[in-house]
Structure 1
Amino acid sequence: MKNEELKMKDKGRRVKWLLVMIFFAFQTTAAQQYTGTTGLIHTPSAEINKEGTARIGVHFLAKEFSPQPFSYNTGTYYLSITPFSWVEIAYTCTLQKGSRKDVDGNWEKKTGYYYQDRYFSLKLRPLKEGKYWPAIAIGTNDPYGTNGKNNKADVPANEGKSNNGDGKSQYFCNYYIAATKHFPINNHQIGIHAAYRKWKRDYNRKWNGLVGGITYQPSFARNLRVIAEYTGGDINVGADCLLWKHLLLQTSLQNGKYFSGGVCFQMNLF
């Protein structure tokens, strides 16, 4: 009996040490991860990654999370870099569902994720956060679109085209100005984030206007960032963390119901 008790205690100690090691492997992070840039979940912030940070990752998007043309669950993969402390650049691909032509040039009946929507994101931060003032950033996602007729995603019906009649995609096109300020309270950290955002496409208008959110990092787990945000049309909750300095995870619930989440590898190139 004593030997079994000793084994159980030893096993318990090893589990505790493993949990402690995992705990200290976490690092603070901030990401609007489905685009590969910093931010909250769906809304931008004025935060920017450390200079030299590069990311490559994937993200699952519930259909409620995406613009209206994506009336199905989809996913993104991306590459981003922060070459300087005041600028972030990302390149994102979103999977598109549709049918394709067979060898005879006829459209197949079955559909699949055969196509991709591609876009760049850019964020500039002219003002860094100070003791008495917030950080200020301006940015855009998907600012340039390609004409649907020349797009490789040559799909039937409304796939690959917008409902604005200009033949361009730009499903994720938006422009914003954001402000972020952090407040230490009894060794906890509260982040207040606000942004004014304008989307180009009419089907995204529910996300226009003033958006923002609150982040919370407890004193006992600075590695953990809990997020609540208002997107203009939804209230989302989620959390993100960075394991072992390189593995970034994010999970969220759209309106508290629909799951989206992703993972990426990040490293500093400098």
Structure 2
Amino acid sequence: MIRDLSGIPLHSAVEAALRSASVKRMREPVDTFTLLTELMRADNSGEWSRIWLHTGGIDTIEKKLIADPVTSGGWYWENIALTDRCALALDISWRLAHRYDMLPIPLAMVVLGLVADSSTAAARALHAGLTRTELLSLVQSDVLGTTLSYLERTLGEVLREAQSTTQPPRPRNPAGEEQRGGHTGFWLKSPLDQAPPLSSRRLKVIGAGLIVLLIALIAVDRSERGRPPPAPSPTRVTVAPPTFTLEPAPTFRYTIQMSTRPR
């Protein structure tokens, strides 16, 4: 069965390193060792000098004859074949990036995924001159540029989660078919699908709170419907007083004529 990991949200530098590693490996699946050296070449912001003091530079590392354990394969990223250990490293880096809220997955997070399992070729190449604790510390401070809280404990939890997921991941669509390349396409299981118990309890508490709020709103609505309508408020009518206009009284003139007759 062919399993496609193309849906993983990778940083552009990681995508470039995967394509470059595919060219180097030619027809062989990309392993953790080749991906590690190509990530070193693609990294324009990280500082690898302190790591190289212990392990040697890229050219020195590439001369080492180290390979991933022989596995069944069948993993792909954009039609690029991957070894099982390389696919597992991408799964681990995805889970780490989700836990620390660092998406798309940065280059240094993929490096942490490559060295999480001590059996990978990448881990053996870098552990040659460094202890695990020293290596994780240098990758954080020099390559990632920040310190992740409780990394070693979280890395162990994520590694166990990824290793226990042996069944095929959920399909991208209900039919489970991916048109590109003519093969079945799959996502890795999202970290949300395997949330820790604390997150599940939080979701249950939030859900219960929403149900209580909904019940309260329904009760208020029903009580409002059963309440009689309010009495109409009295209407005040204001009558303006009549206005009288007094006209001047008419004036009459009388003329009295008196005549005197002789008697």
From the CA coordinates, give the structure whose radius of gyration is larger: 2
With normalisation by structure 1, the TM-score equals: 0.24
1 or 2, which has the higher strand percentage?
1
1 or 2, which has the higher helix percentage?
2
